[in-house]
Amino acid sequence: MIHLMAFMDIDIGLGRTIYTDNSFQISEELIWPMISAINNFIMECTNDEKGLETAVLEDIMLYLYSPLGDDNPLRFIFFTDIYDNIYYLKKKGQAIFELLSNYLSIEYFSPPEKVMQKAIEIAEFTQEFPTAKIFEKDFQNQIQEKISLLEEQKKVIFSQLFIGDIDGGVVFTLKNRTEIAEKSADELFANLLNTFKIDQDLWASSSLSVEENKRIKDYLSSGEEFREGWYINQLGMNSDFWLVGYFYYNTENEKEIREFLDWLASKIKNKLQQFLKPSPF
C-alpha cells in the first residue's frame, strides 16, 4: 500500500508530495536530501548511472520510478510496504504520470481538482478480500480435509499456504507451520512477487540439501525423498490476490499436489470474481 507518493528532480534534489495517507510523519525537508544522498552514494560506489531504485527502511520500501526513462531527472517517489510489487507500482505510477504530466512543477504544483482526485483514487486503490464470503465453513472444511489426507499419506507437508494481497500482505492463512518455515509469510510473498511478473502463475521446485532432507524426514517420520516447492497463482484477471504455497513434497506425487493447488485456486477464483472492485487504471 502506498503511504507517500511524490515527484522529484533527482539532479537538483527537490520534490513535491502528490499523496500521503499520513501513516508516518516525515518532513519534506528531510525526504529530498535523504534520497539525493542515497542516490549519489549508489552512483559513486557502483558506477551505476541509474542510481537509486529501491531501498528498505525497516518495514517501509522506498521505490523510485522513472516515467520518462533513466536519462531524465524526473523520478516518482513511493514509500510503500515491503511486500508491495514493483511492477504494480510502475503501473500505478505510469497512470498517475499520464494524468499529471502537464502539472509537474517543483515551483508550482496545482493540478485541477478533478485531475488530482483521479490521481489520488489510483494511489489509494485497493481491493478488499471478502474472507467470510469466500471461505465459508463448508468450503474451508473441504479444503482442510483434502490437505489433511495428502499430509497423512505423507505426499506433502505444507509449510505455508495462504492468500496474499499485492498491497496488503497476507490476508488469510490456511496453513502456517512456523517450526519448518524459513521465512515469514509476508517475506515469502514479497520475494515471490518481486521475483516474478505479477501476471505469471508459478510452480517451482528445488532439491534439498542433505541436512534439509533429513530435517523433513525426521519431522514426518518418513524415509521418502522430498523436494521443496513453491506455488503462486493470481486469483483472477486484474485481481490483487494470489494463492501462495510453500511446501515439501514426495517427488512421486507432484501431479497430485499440483492438481490440488490448481483446484483450490480455481474454486477461489470463481467465488471471488463477483466481489472484485474494478481497477481505475
Nearest to 253 by CA among 168, 159, 107, 149: 149
Same domain, yes or no: 16 and 105: yes
Whether residue 4 contacts residue 123, with contact meaning beta carbons closer than 8 Å, is answered with: no
Q: Hey, is 127 helix, strand or coil?
A: coil
Residue 41 in domain:
yes
First to last CA, the chain: 16
Residue 280 in domain:
no
Same domain, yes or no: 111 and 164: no
Rounded Cα distance, 146 and 58, in Å:
38
Q: How buried is residue 137: exposed, middle or buried, by Cβ count under 10 Å (0-12/13-18/19+)? A: exposed
Rounded Cα distance, 87 and 85, in Å:
6
Same domain, yes or no: 263 and 142: yes
3-state class percentages of the chain: helix first, strand second, coil last, to nearest 5: 40, 25, 30
Whether residue 216 contacts residue 194, with contact meaning beta carbons closer than 8 Å, is answered with: no
Same domain, yes or no: 113 and 140: no
Rounded Cα distance, 18 and 147, in Å:
46
Same domain, yes or no: 31 and 147: no
State which residues form the domain around 30: 2-124
Whether residue 123 contacts residue 91, with contact meaning beta carbons closer than 8 Å, is answered with: no
Same domain, yes or no: 71 and 196: no
Indicate which CATH number applies to the domain containing 261: 3.30.450
Same domain, yes or no: 91 and 153: no
Give alpha helix (H) positions in the chain: 28-46, 86-100, 113-124, 131-134, 137-152, 185-195, 210-220, 254-272
Same domain, yes or no: 229 and 96: no
Apex 63 CA angle, 102 and 237, nearest 5: 80
Nearest to 206 by CA among 159, 251, 157, 253: 251
Q: Of the candidates 124, 142, 165, which is a domain's last residue?
A: 124
Same domain, yes or no: 264 and 183: yes
Q: Taking phi first (over 0 means left), then psi (-120 to 50 degrees means alpha), and beta for anything else, what does residue 58 get? A: left
Residue 233 in domain:
yes
Residue 100 in domain:
yes
Same domain, yes or no: 233 and 176: yes
Residue 43 in domain:
yes
Residue 281 in domain:
no
Indicate which CATH number applies to the domain containing 55: 3.30.450.70
Verdict on whether the full-model pTM lies above 0.75: yes
Q: Of the candidates 89, 107, 124, which is a domain's last residue?
A: 124
pLDDT 10s digits, 205-237:
888 888 888 888 888 777 777 888 999 999 988
Question: Which residue ranges in the chain fall short of pLDDT 50?
Answer: none
Residue 61 in domain:
yes
Residue 255 in domain:
yes
The total number of structural domains in the chain stands at 2
State the pLDDT at residue 218: 83
Same domain, yes or no: 158 and 265: yes
Q: Of the candidates 106, 124, 142, which is a domain's last residue?
A: 124
Sequence-separated (6 or more) residues with CB below 8 Å from residue 205 = 227, 228, 229, 230, 249, 254
Same domain, yes or no: 271 and 147: yes
